[in-house]
Structure 1
Amino acid sequence: MPKPVYVFSSGRLSRLANTIVFETDASPQGEQVKERKRHLPVEQVSELYLFGEVDLNKRFLEFMAQKGVLLHFFNRFGYYVGSFYPREHLLSGYLTLRQAEHYLDSRRRLVLAQKFVAGGLENIRRLLLKEVAKGREVEGVLDLLEELLPRVGEAQSVGELMALEGRAREAYYGAWTALLGEEWALERSRRPPRDPINSLLSFANSLLYTSILAQIYQTHLDPRIGYLHETNYRRHALNLDVAEVFKPPLVDRLIFRLIRLGQIKAGHFLREGQGVFLSESGRRLVTEEWEKLMQTTYRHPSLRRSVSYRTTLRLELYKLEKHLIGEQPYTPYRLR
């Protein structure tokens, strides 16, 4: 089964027959420079995550488009820059019309936006219940979530939903001090992230956004049409919607584990200007642990078989497709 490949070194990407070739320069030895090549059969690659300075040409991009391989670009600070999203090979005109109809109809759009917000807040609630069971005191945030969750279905607009979600997440992030300690106290700042925990959270969120985008490519959905996030000049919005449901069970749990096991350390962060960013070793660590998480399997309650979390993202999108064509109402994923 094709898998994502993460490229941290600088070099050149090219095509050789049906193979992706990555050439990078090794450390100079005397006056000579040894050139290293890595060959990747294209059938084994679903996405390329490019963190280093990489050269490529149009012929290579044509090859990626032909094979349906997505490229995700990150700058030297680990900021997600954008993706090369090949022409949608599975895009369905019928489903695109249904997506557009659900967006243009304010009532149907609100229903889906409510589902995404309710799914995200319910997964936060379930995650915090697990923390309470471990003896951590976050009852105040749980009480607020219990108060806000019923109001999601009463919201009259997407703006009201966003405000409600913002209030819940602010309280939730405020509880990270109790969950992780003073060193990892979280007050959200994004561009640039002002401390290690914001840097870690932003980077992990980017991995989630791109993972969902890659799964959307394997469905008939158009990633440009979202419901909670505005569909306008933004390149992609649907992956941001679906990410709201999966941030607590995937991103937040990953961060909790990295910190509690002592895997992430002060040396994994760099301060540059007014921002704090993950170093290359920090990005390598987080992507390795992220990939392990995405390949982790569990027994799916309705399918009655083992599925990975990457497959779970695809299944979530299939549920959304069924909602759009009127086959079955969408029910967000719930943290077990």
Structure 2
Amino acid sequence: MKKTYYLFNPGRLSRKDNTLKFTPTDANGNEGTPKYIPIEGIADLFCFGSLDANSALYTFLGKQGIAVHFFDYYEHYSGSFMPKEYLLAGKMQIEQTKNYIDNKKRLILARKFVSGASFNMVKNLRYYINRDRDLQDIQDAIERYNSLIESSNEVDELMGVEGNIRQMYYSAFNDIITSDFTMDTRSKRPPQNEINALISFGNMMCYSLCLSQIYHTQLNPTISFLHEPGYRRYSLALDLAEIFKPLLVDRLIFRLLNKKEIQAKDFDHQLNSCVLKESGRKIFVKAWEEKVTETFKHPVLKRSVSYKHLIKLECYKLSKHILGIEEYKPFKSRW
């Protein structure tokens, strides 16, 4: 089975026959012991350190269908090298564009993404309400915002509803997290504290995972419905990530902090910013990989699937809706 590989150290990546050769380098440019990765075992690459590579390597990666996702020191998603879309189909492109241009059709899908995300956020809250956390008022507030989803007649209005839901949801984090960390308000660029640093890092991991799964379908990742398509981003991955962030990112953060698997020493505090150190990133990525490859019995398929495959199934459901085969229903967690 193909695996995702994470490159934390700066270094040089090159081709050697049918393997990738990664030679790490230190701050002084001294080379370490090379590591070899068989090309047939690579699903995609996540790079957290500076990477030295040439066009011939990317041509090789492109032919093998391997994506490379880049993050900067501050844990911001920098961009992705995506191979040529090998599954794109003309009919899907046309129908996906029609669903974006037609405001009524676009709103139908945009509302689905917001309702799915909100449901999964409430599911997280209910888990902790059942464990005697005082979060009922927050859940009630989110439910009131939920009643505005179907009555929103513009995407901008719907985005405002989604923002209010998420703001209320984030206000519960201080009660859910039992460690010494506090969140205060959501801050992104840069994150102001440890919880915000974990949210930003985890959200970018979720976005990249969604992008990788979209690549293996006929969907065009640049044509989205909730988020406005941009010139320099794969905005459909942002739409899908809304549904899965509460399940994959937030639950992982609660576990890592409540079980003290990530501690204060794993963060780097700078002027008005906080980021994960390499030790913290490695802990998070290890737990993330375990989470997304974890399997469960799918309630409809009646067989075991991983969370990574679940995102691809979500893409297939979205494809059927766009082609007029079956109405799209966002994944809503039952546990």
User: 1:34 Cα deviation (Å)?
Assistant: 6.6
User: 1:185 Cα deviation (Å)?
Assistant: 2.7
User: 1:179 Cα deviation (Å)?
Assistant: 1.2
TM-score by length of 2: 0.96
User: 1:247 Cα deviation (Å)?
Assistant: 1.0
Write out per-residue CA displacement over residues 136-160 of structure 1, whole angstroms, 9 at most, x where no aligned residue: 1100011112222222111111111
- From 301, 307, 310, the counterpart of 1:309: 307
Match of 1:90 in 2: 87
Instruction: Give, as a single letter, the amino acid of the residue that structure 2 aligns with 1:236.
Output: Y
CA contact (8 A) 1:115 1:332 kept: yes
Q: Supply the distance in 2 between the matched residues of 1:27 and 1:172 (Cα, whole angstroms).
A: 41
CA contact (8 A) 1:186 1:198 kept: no
CA contact (8 A) 2:24 2:34 kept: yes
Instruction: Give, as a single letter, the amino acid of the residue that structure 1 aligns with 2:12.
Output: R
- From 35, 46, 52, the counterpart of 2:49: 52
Instruction: Give, as a single letter, the amino acid of the residue that structure 1 aligns with 2:115.
Output: A
Match of 2:114 in 1: 117
User: 1:25 Cα deviation (Å)?
Assistant: 4.1
Instruction: Give, as a single letter, the amino acid of the residue that structure 2 aligns with 1:286.
Output: F
CA contact (8 A) 2:2 2:42 kept: yes
CA contact (8 A) 2:71 2:78 kept: yes
Match of 2:270 in 1: 272
Q: Supply the distance in 2 between the matched residues of 1:170 and 1:302 (Cα, whole angstroms).
A: 32
Match of 2:5 in 1: 5
Instruction: Give, as a single letter, the amino acid of the residue that structure 2 aligns with 1:19.
Output: T
User: 1:128 Cα deviation (Å)?
Assistant: 0.9
Q: Supply the distance in 2 between the matched residues of 1:279 and 1:183 (Cα, whole angstroms).
A: 16
Q: Supply the distance in 2 between the matched residues of 1:151 and 1:144 (Cα, whole angstroms).
A: 12
CA contact (8 A) 1:26 1:36 kept: no
Match of 2:22 in 1: 22
Q: Supply the distance in 1 between the matched residues of 2:265 and 2:230 (Cα, whole angstroms).
A: 40
User: 1:226 Cα deviation (Å)?
Assistant: 0.5
User: 1:180 Cα deviation (Å)?
Assistant: 1.3
Q: Supply the distance in 2 between the matched residues of 1:285 and 1:170 (Cα, whole angstroms).
A: 27
Deviates more, 1:266-275 or 1:290-299: 266-275
- From 104, 107, 127, the counterpart of 2:101: 104
What SS does structure 2 have at the residue aligned with 1:72? Answer: strand
Q: Supply the distance in 2 between the matched residues of 1:133 and 1:220 (Cα, whole angstroms).
A: 41
List structure 1 segments (4+ residues) > 6 angstroms apart after TM superposition: none
User: 1:27 Cα deviation (Å)?
Assistant: 10
Q: Supply the distance in 1 between the matched residues of 2:136 and 2:164 (Cα, whole angstroms).
A: 16
In structure 2, the gaps of 5 or more residues are none
Identical pairs, percent: 40
Q: Check if 1:69 corresponds to 2:83.
A: no
Match of 1:166 in 2: 163
What SS does structure 2 have at the residue aligned with 1:152? Answer: coil
CA contact (8 A) 1:205 1:247 kept: yes
User: 1:37 Cα deviation (Å)?
Assistant: 1.4
Q: Supply the distance in 2 between the matched residues of 1:290 and 1:211 (Cα, whole angstroms).
A: 11
Q: Supply the distance in 1 between the matched residues of 2:96 and 2:75 (Cα, whole angstroms).
A: 32
What SS does structure 2 have at the residue aligned with 1:137? Answer: coil
Write out per-residue CA displacement over residues 56-84 of structure 1, whole angstroms, 9 at most, x where no aligned residue: 00110000100010001111222211100
Match of 2:246 in 1: 248
TM-score by length of 1: 0.96
Match of 2:317 in 1: 319
Q: Supply the distance in 2 between the matched residues of 1:46 and 1:151 (Cα, whole angstroms).
A: 40
Write out per-residue CA displacement over residues 241-290 of structure 1, whole angstroms, 9 at most, x where no aligned residue: 01111111111100000011111110111122321111011111111100
User: 1:234 Cα deviation (Å)?
Assistant: 3.6
Deviates more, 1:145-154 or 1:54-63: 145-154
Instruction: Give, as a single letter, the amino acid of the residue that structure 1 aligns with 2:176.
Output: L
Q: Supply the distance in 2 between the matched residues of 1:234 and 1:104 (Cα, whole angstroms).
A: 19
Aligned length: 332
Deviates more, 1:278-287 or 1:225-234: 225-234
Q: Check if 1:156 corresponds to 2:153.
A: yes
Instruction: Give, as a single letter, the amino acid of the residue that structure 2 aligns with 1:93.
Output: G
Q: Supply the distance in 1 between the matched residues of 2:42 and 2:312 (Cα, whole angstroms).
A: 17
CA contact (8 A) 2:120 2:333 kept: yes
- From 142, 147, 164, the counterpart of 2:144: 147
Instruction: Give, as a single letter, the amino acid of the residue that structure 2 aligns with 1:179.
Output: I
Residues 7, 324 of structure 1: alpha-carbon distance in 2 compared, 3 angstrom cutoff: same
Match of 1:261 in 2: 259
Instruction: Give, as a single letter, the amino acid of the residue that structure 1 aligns with 2:79.
Output: G
Match of 1:210 in 2: 208
What SS does structure 2 have at the residue aligned with 1:183? Answer: coil
| Superposed counterparts of 1:191-230, under 5 Å | 191-230=189-228
Write out per-residue CA displacement over residues 219-253 of structure 1, whole angstroms, 9 at most, x where no aligned residue: 00110001000013242100000111111111110
